[in-house]
Chains A and B, each alone.
Chain A
């Protein structure tokens, strides 16, 4: 049990997917300008990443490894993720319109979110079991959401500050992300 708790802590804080592993930075900078969009994106990522983590693990272990097709992993994973996102979008629109209204516009962006693909690949590379893969997928997604929402808060404050012209927008955003990354750096070596 304590192993699992360690795994959760390490995925959320120590190896935070955004600030430590540098994955998923495009949506990080793209949707963090407003708190609402950041929260929506964070929820959508948690939802898709847990599903994607589980399905790619099954595909890898029962299809690719079984028949020696490991070299097709990149192709298989991206197809799984792309079709999963499509499917989730259709399903939500038909059955849970309320949730779709909140997450819908973020779903297409997730296909090219490297955090999703990245976590699926990390799960395989680290040779996690199915349960561990589920836990890491969920925790990485939570870590992504946490960093994104915290960062949206920082950016909303930056909007009120007077920033020199060339530094505005993405530039100051990146420097701010660097400062947050520095804060998360303190967790290193904790687990």
Chain B
């Protein structure tokens, strides 16, 4: 029995030392990691869809708790007014989740622009949802509350040829973000005004 306890203590000791060491590394890298996540994942897409805004949406951001999740919102200033917010939602594509950022105008609920952030779609087919603007530009200017569907599903979004499932995933993500927007609009308005 004493032997058992000794062994247990050794393993415990190892784990504690390891945990302590990692906590140090963690605190040293934490800030950089958060910044890198924004810069590489959402940054380029947000900058692209909010082209022409007079602030830096990556810095001007806030978080709202939605159920058990925390969502980040990025504010864009156009014509001197804080009237656009962008946020991310996910749809189901051919190879996995597709992340889509949707920027919405708070005054008339129209889409300012959408952009794909992360995907694992087939190179050369589904990946064109991110690299080429053909799909995402179709959403610009429409109301966020439209029932977005691809033409194959009797909707009005022309899908990328050879990548219907990817296009469907992008539409799905935009529909999801419409839900998030409707649910959180009052909270968003409070935060933006504050």
Direct A–B contact in complex, judged by CB atoms less than 8 Å apart: yes
Q: Are A75 and B165 in contact (CB under 8 A)?
A: no
CB under 8 Å from chain B, chain A span 65-106: 71-72, 75, 79
- A75 and B95 CA atoms in complex are apart in Å by 29
**With the chains together, A72 CA to B15 CA distance in Å?**
11
Report yes or no: B165 in contact with A72, Cβ–Cβ below 8 A: no
In the complex, whether B186 has a CB less than 8 A from a CB of chain A is: no
Q: Is A188 an interface residue (CB 8 A)?
A: yes
By a CB distance below 8 angstroms, the chain A residues around B165 are 189
Q: Report whether A75 and B19 are in contact in the complex, using a CB–CB cutoff of 8 Å.
A: yes
What interface size band does chain B fall in? under 10
Contact across chains for A75 and B94 when beta carbons are under 8 A apart: no
In the complex, per-residue mask of B112-132: 1 if CB is within 8 Å of any chain A CB, else 0: 000000000000000000000
| Chain A residue at smallest Cβ distance from B19 | A72
13 A-B contacts, Cβ less than 8 Å apart?
A: A71-B22, A71-B26, A72-B19, A72-B22, A75-B15, A75-B18, A75-B19, A75-B22, A79-B15, A126-B97, A188-B94, A188-B95, A189-B165
Is B22 within 8 A of A189, CB to CB? no
B90 shortest CB reach to chain A, Å:
10
Among residues of A, the one whose C-beta sits closest to the C-beta of B94 is A189
How does the 8 Å CB contact mask read for B9-27 relative to A, with 1 for contact and 0 for none? 0000001001100100010
Give chain B's interface secondary structure class.
helix
Within residues 1 to 42 of chain B, which ones have a CB less than 8 A from any CB in chain A? Answer: 15, 18-19, 22, 26
| Contact partners of A188 in chain B: CB under 8 A | 94-95
Q: How large is the interface on A (under 10, 10 to 19, 20 to 34, 35 or more residues)?
A: under 10
How many whole Å from B13's CB to the nearest CB in chain A? 14
List the B side residues contacting A189 at CB < 8 Å.
94, 165
CB distance from A103 to the nearest CB of B (A): 25
**Chain B proximity of A180: nearest CB distance (Å):** 20
- For A79, the chain B residues whose CB sits under 8 A away are 15
Residues of B within 8 A of A72 (CB): 19, 22
Which residues of B are at the interface with A, using a C-beta cutoff of 8 A?
Answer: 15, 18-19, 22, 26, 94-95, 97, 165
Interface centre among A75, A79, A189 (most CB of B within 10 A): A189
Besides the contacts A188-B94, A188-B95, A189-B94, what 11 more A-B pairs have beta carbons closer than 8 Å?
A71-B22, A71-B26, A72-B19, A72-B22, A75-B15, A75-B18, A75-B19, A75-B22, A79-B15, A126-B97, A189-B165
Minimal Cβ-Cβ distance residue in A for B69: A127
Q: Considering only CB atoms, which chain A residue lies closest to B97 in the complex?
A: A126
C-alpha gap A72/B165 in the complex (Å): 36
Residues on A with beta carbons closer than 8 Å to the beta carbon of B18: 75
A75 to B18 alpha-carbon distance, docked (Å) = 9
Residues of A within 8 A of B95 (CB): 188
Q: Which residues of A contact B94 (CB under 8 A)?
A: 188-189
CA distance A128 to B54 in the complex (A): 39
Which A residues lie within 8 Å of B22 (CB)? Answer: 71-72, 75
Please give me the residue from chain B that is nearest to A82 by CB atom: B11
Q: How far is the CB of A131 from chain B (nearest CB, A)?
A: 15
* A-B CB proximity, top 8 nearest: A71-B26, A189-B94, A189-B165, A72-B22, A72-B19, A71-B22, A75-B18, A79-B15
Complex-state Cα separation, A79 to B16, whole angstroms? 13
Which residue of chain B lies nearest to A6 when distances are taken between CB atoms in the complex? B92
Inter-chain CA distance A35–B165, complex, in Å, is 38
Complex Cα distance A189/B95, Å? 8
Instruction: Give chain A residues whose Cβ lies under 8 Å from the Cβ of B97.
Output: 126
Shortest CB distance B21–A (Å): 10
